[in-house]
Amino acid sequence: MKALKSPVTVTTREHILRQAITLFAASGYEGVSMRHIASAVGTSAAALYHHFPDKPTLYLEAIRFAFADKSATLREVMAKETHPAERLYDFIRRFTQMVYADPAFLKLVHRELLDGDTERMKVLVTHVFAETRQILKGLIRELAPDWDETLLMTSIIGLVIHHYETATLRSFLPGSQPGHEDPETVARHVNRFIQHALGIAAPADEWPDGVKV
Amino acid sequence: MKALKSPVTVTTREHILRQAITLFAASGYEGVSMRHIASAVGTSAAALYHHFPDKPTLYLEAIRFAFADKSATLREVMAKETHPAERLYDFIRRFTQMVYADPAFLKLVHRELLDGDTERMKVLVTHVFAETRQILKGLIRELAPDWDETLLMTSIIGLVIHHYETATLRSFLPGSQPGHEDPETVARHVNRFIQHALGIAAPADEWPDGVKV
DNA sequence: GTCTATAAGCAGATAGAC
DNA sequence: GTCTATCTGCTTATAGAC
């Protein structure tokens, strides 16, 4: 068993990682220098090298930290014994909320999808995608056995994510409203879309008159 | 009216832009130096400054070039007078094919969604999103008047795109098959998904037995 | 229109004082 | 554990020859 590090050490390290996450999410690996991170932390670049051997390692630790426990809230979905369709809606809502509440997380995921090498892809799979897709797979098997699992999982995840990866862009497009970013609105829309697609609910009738989702 | 540049000049300029597009798509703006581009073109970095005043301008010209005429094939969809549901499928197929056939294009779009400033976002809107969404909007108005236009457009685009932004990642996931990247397979899957969601076709029956999409 | 040479600055990373 | 100072190499961009 490893000896615990002193509380002060852990805090400094975490402080660095949190600042690094924000900066890397905003500007990418190449767009952030050790000096930038040091400046955000309030220390010198040389001091960072006391905590991390080099920049690639600092980045790897940062995404590990940013991706840690991201499936936790989704895991709770499976603890309930409600109807599968209800659990799927629960999944959609929690997933949408997660993506909405942590824009840095979504940005880092997309940067990894663009730039990740084999090792970093494995971090992404292990910490983020593996359990998320496992949970979703369970729901799909119950609700839509006649669909291709992989294609359907990818579609459902993309259906949610795309609303937030284009959030900045849509402010430049006509017809955009602030409500289109609201996680509850997006979740209801996506849920209606999926339920009708999979033939779970009959079209219309679930939402009050005049509310388009 | 401007005088036409000599053919040789145009070719050199285009040659630079094409190499720049490939490199920027692969490694991002910060990840590519003028020397990298010069090396790919087979010239010196200094020579690039004869064709473009600075790196930001070269990048801007590169994405303008990469995004030029991207809606052309989608425009043809509206020329036909077939049933709207058939035109929507036509749209999905063309769009899927476009995203599949030009991975550099999709990567550049995603890099702009992450890093684009106001000016670059406007390039993205003008060259790529404006007409694509205009075409899609026309189809949606006919087929699904009771849905929120903006939410539904975003969902449909995301439904296609996400299959290809995760293409590299999925090779690290269980259950992935080469067929899941095939544009015809993805288009059929997405089309089935959308048609059922919008209540256009009755579930099942369109595809041969045993083929899951 | 492309070259070599060079300027000025920032990058990652290290040495050694405290 | 953090500092200042520094090394080396790469960055954008320019000057001027050909």
Q: Tell me: the pLDDT tens digits for B69-84?
A: 999 999 999 999 999 9
Mean pLDDT of chain A: 93
Rounded average pLDDT over B10-22? 95
Which tens digit of pLDDT belongs to each residue from A58-108? 999 999 999 999 999 999 999 999 999 999 999 999 999 999 999 999 999
Q: How far apart are CA B139 and CA B141, in angstroms?
A: 5
Residues of B138-169 as b/e, b for ≥16 C-beta within 10 angstroms?
ebbeebbeebbbbbbbbbbbbbbbbbbbbbeb
Cβ–Cβ < 8 Å for B149, B138:
no
Yes or no: say if A150 and B175 are a contact pair by the CB < 8 Å rule.
yes
Determine the distance in angstroms separating the CA of A19 from the nearest CA of chain B, rounded to an integer: 18
Rounded Cα gap, residues B194 and B159, in angstroms: 9
With an 8 Å Cβ cutoff, are A148 and B186 in contact?
Answer: no
Give the range among A122-126, B117-121, B193-197, B203-207 with minimum mean pLDDT: B203-207
Tell me the mean pLDDT in the region A99-120. Answer: 98
- Residue range A131-155: average pLDDT? 97
Contact A165 B113 (CB under 8 A): yes
* Nucleotides, chain C, CB distance < 7 Å: 1-5, 10-16
Instruction: Decide if pLDDT at B205 tops 60.
Output: no
Confidence band (pLDDT; 50, 70, 90) for A23? very high
pLDDT of res. A4: 55
pLDDT of residue A5: 55
Report the range of poorest mean pLDDT among A41-55, A137-151, B149-163, B197-211: B197-211
- The boundaries of every CATH 1.10.10.60 domain in chain B are 7-65
Is any atom of nucleic acid chain C found less than 7 Å from the CB of residue A70? no
Mean pLDDT, range B158-170, rounded to an integer: 97
Lowest mean pLDDT among A169-183, B39-53, B119-133: A169-183
Give contacts of A 66-105 with B, CB under 8 A. none
pLDDT value of position B203: 44
Q: What is the pLDDT of residue A192?
A: 97
Nucleotide closest in space to A42 (CA vs C1'): D2
pLDDT value for B4: 54
The class of domain B69-197 in CATH terms is mainly alpha
CATH code of the region A72-198: 1.10.357.10
As a whole number of angstroms, the longest Cα–Cα distance in chain A is 62
| pLDDT score recorded for residue B211 | 83
**Cα B128 versus chain centre, distance:** 7
pLDDT-derived band at B210 (thresholds 50, 70, 90) equals: confident
> Would the pLDDT of B63 be above 70?
yes
- Residue B60 pLDDT exceeds 60: yes
Q: Which residue is it, tokens 């036409």?
A: B4
Positive or negative, the CA dihedral B84, B88, B89, B90 is positive
3-state secondary structure at position A174: coil
What is the reported pLDDT for A176?
Answer: 87
**CATH for B7-65?**
1.10.10.60
Interface residues for strand D (CB within 7 Å) are A 6, 8-9, 12, 38, 43-47, 50-51; B 32-36, 45-46, 49, 53-56
pLDDT band (50, 70, 90) for residue B61: very high
What burial class does residue A176 get, using C-beta atoms within 10 Å of its C-beta: 0-12 exposed, 13-18 middle, 19+ buried? middle
Q: In chain B, which residues have their Cβ closer than 8 Å to the Cβ of A189? A: 148, 151-152, 155
Q: How far is the CA of B60 from the C1' of C1 (A)?
A: 22
Q: What token pair was written down for A118?
A: 């084999």
Helices (H), chain A: 7-27, 34-41, 45-51, 55-67, 72-75, 84-101, 103-115, 118-124, 130-143, 149-165, 167-170, 183-198
User: How far is A157 from A155, CA to CA, in rounded Å?
Assistant: 6
pLDDT band at B208 (very low <50, low <70, confident <90, very high): low
> According to CATH, where is 1.10.10.60 located in chain A?
10-67
Mean of per-residue pLDDT scores for chain B: 93
pLDDT tens by residue, B100-147: 999 999 999 999 999 999 999 999 999 999 999 999 999 999 999 999
Interchain pair A154, B161: CB under 8 A? no
Tokens 């009771």, located at residue: B146
Q: What is the CA radius of gyration of chain A?
A: 20
Nucleotides on strand D with an atom closer than 7 A to protein CB?
1-5, 10-16
Angstrom distance (rounded) from CA B197 to CA A196: 4
What are B166-183's pLDDT values in tens digits?
999 999 999 889 899 999
Is the pLDDT at B9 greater than 70, yes or no? no
Residues of chain B with CATH 1.10.357.10: 69-197
Residue bearing the bigger pLDDT, B89 or B203: B89
Q: Which two tokens stand for residue B184?
A: 């015809």
- Sign of the torsion formed by the C-alpha atoms of B22, B25, B30 and B31: negative
Alpha carbons B213 and B187: distance in angstroms, whole number? 9
The CA distances from residue A58 to A27, A47, A66, A80, A102, in Å, are 15, 13, 12, 38, 21
pLDDT given for residue A203 in this prediction: 44
Identify the CATH number of the domain defined by range A10-67: 1.10.10.60
Query: Residue B10 — pLDDT band, cuts 50, 70, 90?
Result: confident
Q: Where are the beta strands (DSSP E) in B28-168?
A: none
